[in-house]
Each structure stands twice: as structure tokens, then as C-alpha cells.
Chain A
Amino acid sequence: MSTQYSVIGTRPIRHDGADKVTGRALYGADVQMAGLLHGFILRSPHAHARILSIDTSKAAAFPGVKAVITTHDFPAVDGNKMVDLGEGDTPLSYARGNVLAGDKVLYRGHAVAAVAAVNAHVAEEAAGLIEVVYEVLPCVLHAVDAMRSGAPLLHEDLRTTELGEATTTISNIAQHIRQSKGDIEAGFALADVIVEREFHTSTVHQGYIEPHNATALWNNDGRISIWCSTQGSFVVRDCTAAILDIPVSQIKVTPMEIGGGFGGKIPVYLEPVAALLSKKTGRPVKIVMPRQAVFEATGPTPGSYMKVKVGAKKDGSIVAAQAYLAFEAGAYPGAMVVPASMTVFAAYDIANALVDGYDVVVNKPSTAAYRAPGAPNAAFAMESVVDELALKLGIDPLDLRLRNAAKEGTRRVDGPRFPRIGCVEVLEAMKNSPHYQSPLGGPNRGRGVAIGFWFNIGLPSSCTLNVCADGNVNLIEGSTDIGGSRASIAMQAAEVLGLAAEEIHPTVVDTDSIGYTGVTGGSRTTFATGWAAYEAAQDVVRQMKERAAKLWDVKPEAVEASGGVYKSNGNSIGFKELAGRIAETGGPVVGRAAVNPRGAGGSFAGSIVDVEIDPETGKTTILRFTCVQDVGRAIHPAYVEGQMQGGSVQGIGWALNEEYFMSPDGRMMNSSFLDYRMPTALDVPMIETIIVEVPNPGHPFGVRGVGEANIVPPQAAIANAMSHATGTRFTRLPMSPPAVMEAIWCQGSSSQPS
């Protein structure tokens, strides 16, 4: 960490700050244009039903209606063709079926038909005139129920993939995976203490404030323009092209500012529908999802049933660990059980381990990524068991974790060996933190800790730099800025060029105007698009050396550049002055880079939390919360801290109150922000942050992704704290006041409510 940087590690004002704080930033719902029509989507009132018929004639005849579409308006395509959904592939039939239902609806809120009209109210009223005849089918809402033989089948052609092999078994289990290491039986035989627990977690939503939206114009020349809120404009382009069966070059996607995503703004919901409505009407069509539809019909994170068993010797060394993970995919396969399996034991060096994971479809909305998808569920189970193990062994919970911590070279249960990681450094920082060192006094209080791991991904990114005559540089990129990435990308270019962050002007542009760039997801943007900016800046430096060489009539190789100053044989010129002379030395200087980097480093995060529980109401107050995370290199520490605090707060909400409260017939009863209880500013303390920097050897500046690992440990840390406050182990999320009261009643000797 001896490297001295002039820009990296500072806290400049974000480039989009003025637009955001003045309300001038343009979001998808702000899109206005001549002749704009408004769309509304009719959604299924049933969790599981066969569509027998759809009659759109009354809706089509309603005054002000310009078009009505159903799945039959989609072109016939090969449903088995795979489409890239940003972080993984899925069959086209699933992607399309989720956009507009085929012959069955698989969850309440499943889109069935769409109307375009002169305004949103007319469209909504007309949608109510569409007559759909359903044959209602029994629904199944939880993984364990859906796995039973005889359970209602969502997909009559879904064949279980068993340990990588296709089978002929038709069931709701899309996939069974297994990962193993060592000898599980022999491992447990060595254990002096074994803890085994079952855990349940509820479906929870990312809860971004901005609802999904899309505006599409199918132009007379056959080209489609789309303006939308997305984490990945190229994914929207490619997925929409696949569903509409047109070449990708015929679609231009403009990512508008985004009001939160957390993984949930990767899938395509509205864009193909708006495009088809535009094709039918010849006018641009805008669709904005109501909040209820966001809850009922976009992608929350899976609910899960988990069983974890861990054995340790008296000295605290963990000798064996086993996990059974059944995750609810929602309506279509893809329950994030694979990353859950890969992360459940990732913080530990365990010789003998076995993980069984099940990807199970149920009659709830098709799940999507949510910040380290799968890992928080798994960590809730594993870190609760480790906490109980520490208690039984009489070892400090952080010491127990340090005793078994994963290090460089540790082989994970899913195979790979860790490169340089910061697990030990995070645990040590937790142990040495003012929070952990402080006493915790008072009745009904408890302190809990937990650690969590999340991968980062690479994926392609592109960047272009245009040098202005005044020595500023315009930076063009394609990564939607969710968490301050304009700043963290621009700062990496500034560092290379020897400029101030404010002298780089980043712009996120449409898919016609930049090379392919993957989603803003997988904690990759500062890592990968930042790397593209670094490479593009190197390209600028190379060209600027040539210009200086021309001025001085020397060979380019004879010019040295450092800190924005170009030198050769006693000549010296600053970047700005040199920029003023690019016209006379050969014209514009444009730096370009397209990267597809490997070497993404994983990130560990730890939570320390103090809670107090009101023994009469079961309400939990978070007294103090500290997030510790290995971020590799903090490019902009303020935004790094913001990510750490945001993930912690979402973890608190997930732990304490958030849940899809489902009626037996599959209706989400709390599909509003009033009753889907995310924490407000009054519900959380100031989240303290401790940045740990173990540079990632796979990145020029040592960057690790910081967006996700911080949501992995809070649920377990809070559960552990609550267990210590009450003497009762909590194994079900959310740990809401009624659930806590129930636990207190069950535990109390009187066991009678007052």
C-alpha cells in the first residue's frame, strides 16, 4: 500500500451531482415526445391457471385505445434458443413467457396482455375490458412443498437436471447440484461438537424506489429506439432482439438515469411489449409499472429452506460441514442456488464438505438477482451455526472464524483455489474495531457478528476518451451509474492522465455510441469499466507522447510521461498545454479501449451489530452497526462507504421485517411500501464503516468490487445478536416483532402471553 496516488482515494464531488440534487436528471418516466402513447399491462389475478381464451375486442373498441396485444403478437421463435440475461443464459421460451404469458399464468401478476392508448388512465380502464377465461389450477408457493411428488406442476415439460445430467423426471425441481470436498463421513467422525439446524427465509424484494419503465419507438425504417431504466442497456438490446426475432443492430437502447436496481433491473419486462405496441400504432409508447406490479411481477430474491450441519474439534478447528439448500426460483428455473452453494462455506478452510442445492420452481414471480444473490440466505444459515458452535466451544466467535478462515490457496468446496483474499484481514479488523472492543451493557441486549463472501465478475467493457483543446477529457462509457461509478471510472482515467477528477467528464451513452459493455452488476463496474478507462487513458498517453515527440522532433519512445507532464531531453510540457496543440500536431486525440478482464477479486465483508429487544412487544432496535469490508482499493472512499452502508441497511430490513406475505392462493398481501416494511431513516443507526484494503492482484489499481458482499453477513449477525439477547436461536427470516414475541412465549417457563 505504499503506492501514492493523487486522485485515487480522494473524495471529489460526483459528476452527476448537480443534475441529481436539482432534479434535472432524466429518468425513464420523464421521457416525453410528440405523439406519445401510454401502455398498460393486464396481469393475472391467479397464481396458477391455464388461459383458455382471451377476447380483446371490447378493449380495442374502447375510445382512445390504439392497440391491444397478447403473446400471439410475438413472432414464432425457437424457444430452446438461449438468450443472455446479463449474468447468465436462459431459454428464450422462459424469457418470452415472463414478458407475456403463453398458455399458462404461473404467478399472480403474470403479464397477460397489453394496451396502448392516448393516456395511462384510458389504457388502464381498457385493460379491464379484456376478457380472459382461466382454468384455475392449484398453486404451490414454497420449495419444500413444490419438491414433493404429486405437487402441482408449473411446467409440464420441465425435466430435472441431476448432477449435471439430463433426466426424464418431470418435476418442479429444475436442477440438483452437488459440490463436495474430502470425506464428509470421516470428517464428522473427527468432530467433538456438531451443530445442525434448519433455516427458512422469505422471498424479499430489492425495493428500488423507481419502478420499471420503458418507452419504445418502432420507426418506419424498421429500427427500434428504446429508453428505459436498466442495469444493462446491451442486455436489453440483445434480449429484446431475441424475443422480437430481429437483428441486434436494429435496436438502440438508451439507458436513462436509474433509481435503484440492486440486480432487479437486469431482466427485460416492458421493453418488448412497448416495442410491439409501437409497431402496431406507429407511435412511441411508454409503459411505467405501478408499484404493485413491481412487487408482484418483477424479480425478487428466492425464499429458501436450508439445513446446515457443522462439526468441530474442541480446539475450534472445523472438520466437516454439510449443507442442503432448496431455493425457490419463482415461475421459471434459475434460483441462484448455484452461487449460494459456492458461497455457503467460502469463508472457511474446511477439509470435508458437501453441498446439495436444489433449484425449485414455485408459483411466485420469477426471481432475479438481488445484491450477492443466494449468498445472504446461505450465510444466514452457516453463520448462525458457526455462532452456536462458538458458544458451545466457549470460543470467541471471531477467534473461531479466524481459526478456520479461508486464505490464499484455500480450495473452495466448488473447486477453485482462492487467489489473494482478505478474509483474515476483515476478521482482524472486526476484532480490533472500537465497536467490538466496547462493552455492551443493559438488559435485553445482545451482540452478534458474521462474515460473508461474494464473487466479482469481469465481463466486457468499453471506454472512449476524447481530449478537448482545453486539456479536459470527455469520457464515454456504457455502464449504468447506480452507485457513483461515473466518478470511480473517471477517477481511474484521471489518475493515469495526471488530471483532476473534475477534468474528466463522463457520459453514459446508448448502445449505438459505445462498444459492448456488460451489465452494471456482479460488483464489476468499477473493476471492469474502470479497467477500460485505465486502458483508454494509456492509449491517450501513448498518442500524447507522439504529439510531444512531433513538437520536439524526437522519437515517441524518447518521451516520458508522469503525473500529466511530458518530458524529453530537457523539454517539458503539461498535458493541458499539449492538448492545446493537438490540432497542429495531427488532429483529434481519441483514446479507446475494450476489455474483457479476468482476475476479478472476491470480497469479504463482516458485520458487527448490537441489538435491544423489547420483551413485551418483540420489537428489535439496532443500537449499533459496523460494516467491515475488504474493497481491494477504495477509488472513491465516500461511495465505497455508501455501498457498505446501503448493503447493511438492506440486510437489516431483510432480517427484521421484509417478506412476501402470501395468502394460501398465492396473492401477495403486502404489495406496497406501506406494508412491505423496508427500514426508514429512523429505523437504523449511523452505519459505521471500516474499509480494509487488500489489493486485488488482478487489477491495475487493486480494485475489488464493493457493491454486494456487504449484504451477505447482516442477517446472520442480527440473528446472532438477537439470540444472545433472548437466549433463543432464530432460524426463520424475517425476525419480525410477532415472530420474536412468539419465540419469547415458547421459551418462557410460563409460556403465557400477559
Chain B
Amino acid sequence: MKWFEYEAPTTLADALAILDANPGACLLAGGTDLLVQLRAGRKQTDLVLDIKRIPELNEISFDSASGLTLGAAVCCAEAYEHPLVKQHYPALAEVASIIGGTQIQGRASIGGNLCNAAPSADAVPLLIALGAVCRVVGIHGERELPVEDFCLAPGQNAMNPGELLVSLRFPAPLPASGAHYLRFIPRNEMDIAVAGVGVSVTLENGAFKAARIALASVAPKPLFVPAAGDSLKGKPVSAESLDAAAQLAKAAASPISDMRGTVEYRRHLCAVLTRRALEAAVRQALGQAQETR
């Protein structure tokens, strides 16, 4: 690891000015990915810019009309312990509780999980399923983009030099809706998803009104599969409709074979996990007790 400078501004304006002057800076929130990458020599930088002292990046606010705003530096533990997050976005609280171990969750942020742009990021398929939108700010202005457009390739996101992710905005949950993230890991914790599926569903009269499905670890980036969710629209909640969506998710997956699993195994898991995640989301939408993971 090479020497680097460290800055920890307390205003967004200061952070953007530093970033503008140092386009090669690495942003640090929890640091649970960045420090490992620096130590392993996978990243090098002259400046680490700590953004977790900036108020906007620590915001958690909820409004029944406009939904939830989650600052990019809010750590997982803060998110899953927040009463409004638990009440209105239980699936989000749950996914925050399975990233890393307890100590990591006190540091790692959901925004960081997204910015790291790992194909295996556990939070991202659920963010996509929930329809979350990124608020990205640079010295020349700000823009919004949906989470499904944020990750481009392994370790590469859609932000331009000088920009940073300030917060994520989640639409207010609709009545009779549910969401769930399910991953497959060989162990029961502290592991990287061999495959993962995030889903959200909205029901109406025993049928699907809408559904969104996204996959982890089976493409170069977290993969939104609109066809799989759309296939459920208007369909009754049944084993057949769930299986059909599961097969579409599987068909969209384009995994690689590596130490975590083969192509065939990962594609197979996409179908199994999609069906199981949909079942859990439907149970939640119907107000039934949520299955423990």
C-alpha cells in the first residue's frame, strides 16, 4: 500500500471542491471495500476523501408521499435499526443485516455497496427491485439516475470524475406490496453470493399488479430483468406464474464459472431463488409472516 493523503470535509461544497481538484481521489464512507482494495494493491490513490462527516450523506428521512431518503454514507446497522426503515422497507432492513458481519455492518454503507459496483453486491438487486433512484452531485450540478443504470461493469459505476453519490431515494411503498432479497451462499454468513435475487411485487385482487426482479453475481453488473417482472403483470399468484418468471430470470443470467460456482449451477440457482424470493415477497404483500432467511 502506497502513502496517501486523507481529507474529511464536513460540508458537501468542500467535498466537491476537493474532489474537483483531485479527480483521482478515492471516496471513503465505511471503507470496508476500499481499504481492502488499497491494501491488496487493487486500487492506488494519492488522496482518500472521507465523506461520512457530511450531513447530507447521513440523512434518513421518510415521508408517506415522497418515500425514503437514505444518505449514501448511512451504515447498514443504522439503516436496519431505524424504525421507519424497518416499518416501511422491511426487505431493505433485512438486506442491510446480511452484508458482512456485525462489526462490518457498523461501518459499511448501502451507498458504498452500490458505488463499489461489484456484480455480487447484496443490496443492489433489492435497490433495483424497490425502484430506488440515485442522487448524484458534482461541482457543476446534480442529476438523478435509477439504480439499474448506475453500475456499468465490475468496479465501475456511472459517476463522472468530480461527482459523488449523495443519497438514494426510495418511492413510498404501495398498499399490498412486498419485497425480498435472497442469495445463495455455501455458508450461512460472511460470504459472497453465488447468485442473488431481489424482487418487489404489488398485488391486486389475488393477481400481480406489478413486479420488479433483479439478479446478483450472474452478469458483469447487477442485472435488472424487466421481462421477468413484467411477465407477472395481471397474472394470478400461482406456482405457474412464479415458475414462468423464474425461468425468464434464469434465461437472462449470463454468469461465469469460477471458484464460487459453475455457469450451469448459477443459472439453476437464479430460477430457484427467484421463485423463493417471489414467494416471500407475496407472503409479505399478503401481510403474512415473513419467512426467515
Contact = CB atoms under 8 A, between A and B. Distances in A.
Contacts of A617: 184, 269, 272
A63 B190 CA distance: 40
B186 A619 contact: yes
Contacts of A741: 265, 268
B187 A754 contact: no
A111 B253 CA distance: 41
Specify which of A661, A682, A754 lies most central, judged by the most chain B CB atoms within 10 Å of its CB: A754
Contacts of B161: none
Contacts of A680: 187-190
Contacts of A682: 187-189
Contacts of A124: 1
A406 to B, nearest CB: 36
A669 B188 CA distance: 21
B2 A754 contact: no
B50 to A, nearest CB: 20
Interface stretch (A129-137, A208-216, A428-436, A670-678): A670-678
A675 B260 contact: yes
A738 B262 contact: yes
B265 A738 contact: yes
Specify which of B194, B258, B268 lies most central, judged by the most chain A CB atoms within 10 Å of its CB: B268
Interface in B209-234: none
Interface string A649-671: 00000001100010000000110
Contact of A675 (B2, B184, B192): B192
Nearest to A739: B265
A754 B188 contact: no
B2 A125 contact: yes
Specify which of B3, B40, B259, B267 lies most central, judged by the most chain A CB atoms within 10 Å of its CB: B259
A679 interface: yes
Nearest to A119: B3
B271 interface: yes
A657 to B, nearest CB: 5
Nearest to A659: B259
B253 to A, nearest CB: 12
Nearest to A619: B186
B7 interface: no
Contacts of B194: 737-738
Contact of B187 (A661, A683, A742): A683
B191 interface: yes
Interface in B1-27: 1-3
A754 B1 contact: no
Contacts of B1: 121, 124
A61 to B, nearest CB: 17
A172 interface: no
B187 A657 contact: yes
A679 B1 CA distance: 30
Interface in A700-754: 736-738, 741-742, 753-754
B83 interface: no
Nearest to A736: B186
Given A124-B1, A670-B259, A753 B268 contact: yes
Nearest to A682: B188
B25 to A, nearest CB: 19
Contacts of B260: 675
A221 interface: no
B264 A683 contact: no
Contacts of B186: 619, 656-657, 677, 736-737
A616 interface: yes
Contacts of B184: 617, 619, 737
Interface residues of A, number: 27
Contacts of B259: 661, 669-670, 675
Nearest to B101: A680
B155 interface: no
Contacts of A669: 258-259
A41 to B, nearest CB: 15
A124 B41 CA distance: 10
A145 B218 CA distance: 33
A661 B260 CA distance: 10
A675 B272 CA distance: 23
A292 B1 CA distance: 15
Interface in B229-277: 258-262, 264-265, 267-269, 271-272
B252 to A, nearest CB: 16
Nearest to B190: A680
Contacts of B2: 121, 125
B230 to A, nearest CB: 22
Interface string A222-249: 0000000000000000000000000000
Contacts of A121: 1-3
B188 A683 contact: yes
A670 B265 CA distance: 19
A181 B2 CA distance: 62
A677 B268 contact: no
A661 to B, nearest CB: 4
Nearest to B260: A675
Interface string B118-135: 000000000000000000
Contacts of B271: 754
B258 to A, nearest CB: 7
Contacts of B262: 738
Given A669-B258, A669-B259, A738-B265, A616 B189 contact: no
B228 to A, nearest CB: 15
Contacts of A753: 264, 267-268
Interface in A407-447: none
B264 to A, nearest CB: 6
A296 B1 CA distance: 20
Contacts of A618: 265
Specify which of B3, B188, B262 lies most central, judged by the most chain A CB atoms within 10 Å of its CB: B188
A469 B2 CA distance: 57
Contacts of B261: 737-738
Nearest to A653: B187
Contacts of A670: 259
Interface in B154-210: 184, 186-192, 194
Specify which of A617, A679, A680 lies most central, judged by the most chain B CB atoms within 10 Å of its CB: A617
Nearest to A657: B186
Nearest to B265: A738
A225 B145 CA distance: 61
A365 to B, nearest CB: 17
Contact of A674 (B192, B264, B267): B192
Contacts of B265: 618, 737-738, 741-742
A682 B2 CA distance: 37
A741 B265 CA distance: 8
A125 B3 CA distance: 10
A674 B33 CA distance: 13
A292 B40 CA distance: 10
Contacts of B191: 674, 677
A670 B186 CA distance: 14
Nearest to A617: B184
Nearest to A122: B3
Specify which of B2, B261, B264, B265 lies most central, judged by the most chain A CB atoms within 10 Å of its CB: B265
Interface of A: 121, 124-125, 292, 616-619, 656-657, 661, 669-670, 674-675, 677, 679-680, 682-683, 736-738, 741-742, 753-754
Given A617-B184, A738-B265, 7 more contacts: A121-B3, A124-B1, A617-B269, A677-B191, A680-B190, A738-B194, A754-B272
Q: Please name the 9 residue pairs, one residue from A and one from B, whose CB atoms are nearest each other, closest first.
A: A661-B259, A682-B188, A753-B268, A738-B265, A616-B272, A669-B259, A670-B259, A682-B189, A738-B261
Interface of B: 1-3, 40, 184, 186-192, 194, 258-262, 264-265, 267-269, 271-272
25 contacts: A616-B272, A617-B272, A618-B265, A619-B186, A656-B186, A657-B187, A669-B258, A670-B259, A674-B190, A675-B259, A675-B260, A677-B187, A677-B191, A680-B187, A680-B188, A680-B189, A682-B187, A683-B187, A736-B186, A737-B184, A738-B262, A738-B265, A741-B265, A753-B264, A754-B268
